[in-house]
Structure 1
Amino acid sequence: MSLQLVKTAELNPNKNYVLGCHPHGIMSVGAFVCFTTESCGFIETFPGVRSCLAVLAGLFRIPLLREYLMCAGLYPVSKPSLTHLLSKSGKGNAVVIVIGGAAESLASSPGINTVVMRKRKGFVRVALQFGADLVPVYSFGENELFRQVIFTEGSVGLRLQNLFKKIAGFAPCLFLGERLGWLPYRTPVTTVVGSPISVPKLALASDKEVDYYHGLYMEALTKLFHEHKV
């Protein structure tokens, strides 16, 4: 499996950014490798910009997994965490959020590109609150890395999945890989970082203002997908 980071525009190190990454896939491999490690050369590609990946806050409540996530340099998607990264850490911060979450993960399947976006507006409100430019990101090949087991309606597996979601706040999924059953298929993943969308600083943005910039983001994401899809 090869991973590649592609730049389509410069990111000004004197600004902060909220990068929305799509699709979620099973493991968000593209987002993790490109934005929490230097395997794809983020620092060289975007000089002066520091990337950090923010993931589901509920994961930090699980013992041992919490310690692993912190050692890997991950942050929870929580108000205190995002406030710190976007207002107390200076400039040149690129906070990466995998927008679609569990809903998008459960829709992950080879050959299918499902993005859960229409009602996901919290990241836009955060960007407006701190005046951080929005940047769409798409990881092509992410959904090809694993084969998900889809539970039928009324099955025991689906009931257990929903029960876990109620308890832990997110739904687990059963998936299969290539070697040993859990390693990803040897499919290339290309993560394309789009052009930043200029966002004003509005501490108390109205719903209309949030909808406007959310619409701009969706248009930019759609354009990015069609311009770079294989």
Structure 2
Amino acid sequence: MPKFAPLNVPFPRRRQTASVAFWMILVPLCIFLFLELLLLSYVTRSIALVYFLWVMQDQAHNQGARRVDWLRKLSLWVWFRDFFPISLRKEADLDPSKKYLFGYHPHGVISLGAFTAIGTEACNVSTLFPGLNIRLLTLESNFKIPFFRDILLALNVASADRKCINHVLGGEPGSAVMLVLGGAAEAMEAKPNTNTLVLKTRLGFIKLALAHGASLVPTFAFGENDIWDQVPNPKGSLVRKFQTIFKSFASFSPILFHGRGIFTYDYGIMPYRRPITVVTGKPIDLPKIEQPTEKELLEYQRQYIAGLQEVYDKYKDEFLPGRKAELIIS
């Protein structure tokens, strides 16, 4: 039998649950509203078509987003943060006269730690890193979803495309991006109490950082993999084969996840109330090299992995006491 939430749940907790539920339905809600505009009347259809034409030519997602601070500071995101809760820590201050490329690990199912800590002000990222303008980067396909794309842009979320990264890091001092480096391959490994990273094959982000002389900041989110369960998908299984085939046609892989419900603790697609602690490591300063050799790329990759391992080793006993295995980097 499912375990139902009691009727006397305090209002702040209900508010937290409602904020997460709202985020979970935001994409279908935005699509529904756009379709309603198309079908409602001639006037709304005209508005929808004009908006669609504007979206087709708008390149804000490749130009560093359209930050709107009041939206980033909404109480909604504080309630969202407190549902888990999610917190942000730093191992070192970052010089605002430099540029930075943050690598985020692990990917998790949909990287809610990165979204909350960097895509909003719920964890006071602007206070923690004064003088930095950090853009969280996501799949370009997210910017094709009507209305949802505009919310992302206002939250200072931009495209993970190379064009956008070059635009941001080629800008003024204090510019920074955060990339969730593991991608779809790592998302398929997102299971509670484990942390398997796909990193050793990733050299493109180092090449981009070297092209702009940007410092690398290894970032680890303790608990990111714990907030959902995933349908078993061992290598060779039908589920994994389906995910791999899908990924070959699209830029992402469908993750068959499940968690709790709004009114039950056992069944649903809502995440579990489990803490996520995002820790940014010490920066790794890189020279500006436009055409690095493979040896140079591998050396800076080695330094980056060592910095990430250092963060994990320092906090694993505090934030991952129930882990089933140590960090795996493949």
CA contact (8 A) 1:132 1:201 kept: yes
Q: Distance in 1 between matches of 2:191 and 2:165?
A: 30
1:28 to 105, 108, 111: 111
Give the strand-richer structure, 1 or 2.
1
Q: Is the aligned partner of 1:220 residue 2:302?
A: no
1:56 to 136, 139, 144: 139
Q: Distance in 2 between matches of 1:148 and 1:70?
A: 29
Name the CA shift for 1:178/1:7 in 2 (closer, same or farther; >3 Å): same
CA contact (8 A) 2:104 2:179 kept: yes
Q: Which amino acid aligns with 1:222?
A: Q
1:82 counterpart residue number = 165
Bigger Cα Rg: 2
Q: Distance in 1 between matches of 2:96 and 2:165?
A: 18
* Superposition deviation, residue 18 in structure 1: 0.3
1:205 counterpart residue number = 292
CA-based RMSD: 1.8
Q: Is the aligned partner of 1:137 residue 2:224?
A: no
Q: Distance in 2 between matches of 1:201 and 1:158?
A: 40
Higher RCO (CA-CA < 8 Å; seq separation 6+): 1
Deviations along 1:163-209, whole A, 9 cap, x unmatched? Answer: 43232222111111122411111111100011100100011111111
Q: Distance in 2 between matches of 1:117 and 1:226?
A: 17
SS in 1 for 2:285: coil
Q: Distance in 1 between matches of 2:231 and 2:156?
A: 30
Q: Distance in 2 between matches of 1:54 and 1:35?
A: 10
Identity within the alignment, %: 38
1:107 counterpart residue number = 189
Question: Which ranges in structure 1 are unaligned for 5 or more consecutive residues?
Answer: none
Name the CA shift for 1:159/1:68 in 2 (closer, same or farther; >3 Å): farther
Q: TM-score, normalised by structure 1?
A: 0.92
1:12 counterpart residue number = 95
* Superposition deviation, residue 7 in structure 1: 1.2
Q: TM-score, normalised by structure 2?
A: 0.65
Alignment size in residue pairs: 228
Q: Distance in 2 between matches of 1:167 and 1:61?
A: 17
Give the helix-richer structure, 1 or 2.
2
Deviations along 1:42-84, whole A, 9 cap, x unmatched? Answer: 1111111111111223444556654453344321111210111
CA contact (8 A) 2:184 2:247 kept: no
Q: Is the aligned partner of 1:175 residue 2:262?
A: no
Deviations along 1:74-131, whole A, 9 cap, x unmatched? Answer: 211112101110012x111221001101111000100101111111111111000000
Q: Distance in 1 between matches of 2:133 and 2:147?
A: 26
2:209 counterpart residue number = 127
Q: Distance in 2 between matches of 1:168 and 1:71?
A: 26
Question: Which ranges in structure 2 are unaligned for 5 or more consecutive residues?
Answer: 1-83, 263-267, 319-330
Q: Which amino acid aligns with 1:21?
A: Y
Q: Which amino acid aligns with 1:143?
A: N
